[in-house]
Amino acid sequence: MRNLIWVVILSFLSLSTLSSQALKERVLNAELSEVAGRASEIFETPLAGEILTNSNSSKWGQKVSSIRMREHGSPQVRAIKASKADLKANSYNPQEEQQGRASDPIIGASFEANWMEEGTPPDDAMAISNGGKVVTANNDGIEFYNANGQFLSTTKWADFFNDATLTGAIYDPRVIYDSGTDRFVIAILHGSSAATSKLIVCFSKSNDPSSGWWYYKLSGNPLNNNCWFDFPSLGVSNNEIYVTGNLYTSGNDTYNQSIIYQIKKAEGFAGQNLNWQYWDRIAAGTEIGFSIVPASYGHSGNYGPGIYLVSSESGGGNTVKLWDITNDIGANPELKSYTITTSQTYGPSPDGAQKGSQEGLDNGDCRMQSAFYLNGKVHFVFHTDIGNGWNGIYYHRLKVNDLTIRSSTFGLVGSYDYSYPAVASSSVQTTDASVLIGFLRTSDQIFPEVRVVNCDNDMQWSNSTLIKEGETYVRVFGGTERWGDYTGICRRQNSPTGRIWFSGSYGARIGANTPNSYKTRVAEIFTNQSTATYELDSEIIESKVYPNPASDRFHVNFETEIKELVTIQVVDINGKLVKQLYQDIPKSTKNIISFNKEALTAGIYFLVISTSTKILSNDKLVITD
């Protein structure tokens, strides 16, 4: 009977994929290509276990451990950054962005998500389904919300897996929504030595992430060459998922090479043995591939067979690489490479400053951050020194049929560092190349914050729009603080108006033991091309709960234009109503309401502000003794 169910599930997934698939365009000037990697044999890995998510963890600690605090970038990259420090300091010229030519992004739903208590950097990741289920993750754990920002559940990674064999650190989550099969996929890492390194791949059982997951443990040392796997990226095609990353030698953590896991997805969604292979010896001539990023399809559905991938030079340069896995597992795929010259040279930037602190924020290197494929073009983005050591966004559109490229930078030399960008299509039609790019921003005049910018079809930039301002500076270990390494982005694929969801970290106070850490902000973003069909509900413009944590009284400060009944409730970590605090029509646009914690016991709660039809704000509230 189980085999029959498996056949039915596989048939459904195959039909679902075929109904929405797109074919890859071939590169016409194929003489420029090189066979660029070696495929392994095909492996079969059994199911490691089942994840049940119907119970929530309340094990929110008040500590920060040292996982992932290794220095970012090679010694050569750090030397380049150090050499620019004086130039950057001497070119300080604070100013604001000028009027953009494209329309500014508009923020829809926006809410607080994961905190950073146990792992730095935060490494935010997120995805949203057609049905409006939101998965957000960072190095601490995973949380589920609906599209109105209503909290559903939260779990630390150790509790999520509940696997006694996973004794090392669990970190670097990547989350993707596969609209071709209406399911979620998570790739996350375990351990940082050859003996403990694992790639854990999770497949949701349905389009509701709360319904459970299947998970698999693949070796993070597949070549058996004393290495461990780091910095994953995740992509999906018609029939497969792809996880890319870098191998580092165990013991001295020197870079060895990059690899690509090519994994059949139908068996994963069915909870059956997983078939996969890997690619190693990845190089374009004498130039190795580093931090290669898969480019999933930019609109609803997938494409294939195989997938496109892109990479940049982490230490800077004037070329980028297009990689092409030409076919699916079992159909004799090849890995080909193409080298494309960029319009300008790029390079890494020194640390970013932050208000109120001498500790800098690590701008990392110039590795590829985010990519997608649509209408014959691969869109991709990373950050670079745009002048005098100031970091900015470097965005590209690469036509795969002739390898022509259009590129543009965005930033403000002398004023801010714009870092860790992620890109998604915001267009209604596939022929429209408009994108939204979310990113992090900092300077000595602001706390680390989250923003978004529009780059339209004509490659004109808007001004950037604030998603969430920082509340404090970050100081986890002292010295240079880790900031990225990446942010999360996802298009809601059934939106007729090009809605993008983004997650990024901002400076925030969590508790007495973590007064200068990060929180995650998740936001829905769109442009005025969709305002004719989107009616903004009267909603909270901004809300704040303070002090937080609270031991006695706490205050709710919110701004709104609405003139209807508003309810403020406290719910527990399981979503159960604990107490209704307020129900009235706000008397002004700015409101401050104070409450006594009364009988609330110490723990994690959520303060929900709503009308009869919509969640307006959903802030985490910590009550202490």
pLDDT at 616: 74
| Strand 553-560 to 590-596 pairing | antiparallel
- The model carries a pTM of 0.84
| Residue position matching structure tokens 């602190």 | 357
User: What is the pairing mode between strands 488-491 and 500-508?
Assistant: antiparallel
Q: Is a pLDDT exceeding 60 seen at residue 1?
A: no
- Domains of the chain, CATH where assigned: 2-530 (2.120.10.10), 543-623 (2.60.40.3080)
Provide CB contacts within 8 A for 120, sequence distance 6+: 64, 67, 68, 69, 139, 476, 477, 481, 482, 518
pLDDT tens column, 338-385: 999 999 999 999 999 999 999 999 999 999 999 999 999 999 999 999
Residue pLDDT, tens place only, 528-559: 754 333 333 345 556 778 888 888 888 888 77
Q: Specify the pLDDT at position 612.
A: 66
Residue 529 is predicted with a pLDDT of 58
Q: How far apart are CA 525 and CA 110, in angstroms?
A: 9
Q: In what order do the strands lie in the sheet with 377-387?
A: 34-35, 335-346, 317-325, 307-312, 293-297, 370-374, 377-387, 390-399, 405-410
What does the DSSP 8-state code read for residue 57? Answer: -
Model confidence over 554-589: pLDDT tens digits? 888 877 777 778 888 888 766 678 888 888 888 767
- Model confidence at 63: pLDDT above 70: no
pLDDT tens, 477-518?
888 999 989 999 999 988 767 899 999 999 999 888 789 999
Answer with the residue of higher pLDDT: 117 or 342: 342
Over range 274-300, report the average pLDDT. 93
What integer is the mean pLDDT of 248-270? Answer: 96
Residue 152 pLDDT > 80: yes
Structure tokens that stand for 588 in this block: 């002004």
Whole-number pLDDT of residue 27: 67
Phi, psi of 181 (to 5 degrees): -120, 0
Asked if residue 268 lies in contact with residue 214, where contact means CB atoms within 8 angstroms, the answer is yes
Residue 14 pLDDT grade (very low, low, confident, very high; cuts 50, 70, 90): very low
Higher-confidence residue of 228 and 149: namely 228
The percent of residues in the chain predicted with pLDDT above 90, rounded, is 68
pLDDT at 560: 75
Cis peptide before 350 (omega within 30 of 0): no
Distance between CA atoms of residues 472 and 476, nearest Å: 12
Which pLDDT score is estimated for 550? Answer: 84
**Closest C-alpha among 471, 504, 380 to residue 121:** 504
**What is the overall mean pLDDT for the chain?**
88
Tally of CA atoms within 13 A in the half-sphere of 393 that contains its CB: 26
List pLDDT tens digits, range 404-451: 999 999 999 999 999 999 999 999 889 999 999 999 999 999 999 999
